[in-house]
Amino acid sequence: MDKAATLELLAFILQSLQLIKRRFKGIESGDDFLYSDEGLDKLDAIAMRLQSIGEALKNLDKRERVFLLKVAEKKYWSQIIRTREILTHHYIDIDADTIYMICDEKLDELTEKILQLHKLAKSLEL
């Protein structure tokens, strides 16, 4: 395990989650993303960070398959990585309500799992 690279990816994910949460403030529904330039800017910025999180997790999964499984099952991580694929390859089809749901319902759980992974990676002896 490349501890430094793993910690760097996890720190990037945590930073991205904080940025998403900050940008999501004031959004009360998927429609809030669509009715102003500011909302559209937030939607684009959040979608890009979600894409980046998925890419970072995809890289971790390639290098450290067992590591991610220490805090969640493969299906959990696969769903996030698949979301990255949709955001990357089907951007025109992004649904504001789906992005809203991810931000409203999923980010706290993901943050907790990434914090667990970060703590675990820091504790590993190389």
Domain spans, the chain:
3-123
Would you say 14 and 118 are in contact if contact means Cβ atoms under 8 Å apart? yes
Confidence of residue 85 (pLDDT cuts 50, 70, 90): confident
pLDDT at 19: 98
- What is the reported pLDDT for 91? 66
pTM: predicted TM-score of the whole model, two decimal places: 0.91
CB burial readout 58-88, b (16+ within 10 A) else e: bebbeebeebbeebbeeeebeebbebbebbe
Residue 126 has pLDDT above 60, yes or no: no
Which residues in 34-57 are b (16+ Cβ under 10 Å) and which e?
eeeeebeebbeebbebbbbbbbbb
Positive or negative: CA dihedral 106, 14, 123, 67 = positive
Closest by CA to 98, choosing from 47, 45, 35, is: 47
